[in-house]
Structure 1
């Protein structure tokens, strides 16, 4: 049986449907039909502007990230697709903490919906640290189709892995 590491937490019946789509060579065509385009966010500066625009629209009172960038190392470490951390820096006699968001570089070529889903996910961590109910409610507030996009992203990553593409 084909292991589906990106779909491991989903019910076996759903995994069976995905395996059938893979066996019938329908998965790639379905994803291309549903998500035909790519986005124009190609640089770290453009990603920062994109992220800040979403943050300002939905999280006006949250602290802005100091840095947002694409990171080519993320897909290799613990299957992380994005990270949100605080960097501590000493300035004078005080410690300053600044938020930093890193997005896996695989999203430079991904459909715009998947980039938005990852950025929304990382922005939600500015307010909610844990993946709990409040976190997912905030994600759904910023992107109403969040849960469907998360599932489809898992299908996209599965297809990339099957195709032997880097970053999967």
Structure 2
């Protein structure tokens, strides 16, 4: 039997995931109702801006790109693009990089914002595989949104957000009563 601390740790994770779901729902509702959104610095978000709202670790299995389509863990990135934009039609993609080093040599992984235009809107959340590709505990990374099929060599991304891997790399002890 596990101790209560393990239960409360799960409750904390549940609350954090619930907060992200609520934030995503609020952003979606605001965009749908044409309500003004606000950036992290408090400025009003105009209809022509790109914003990365949040990046969160997920243990859900994400299919990687390629022929084998292995399963991986990674980040769920909540984004807002200009009203009416369909990221799938624009070849928009999100990359994860070592902090502040936005070039292919320092890219951990990437994926399309949306794979299908039918289920793609100007706001939502994209799952980016990254778990098995070297994200280290406690290390900071930069998540970047690239629009219109841009490459790192084309200039800066349209939006970035920093992300720190939240675990220490040491598994917490599990105490059995017995």
More strand by percentage: 2
More helix by share: 1
Q: TM-score, normalised by structure 1?
A: 0.22
TM-score when normalising by structure 2 = 0.21
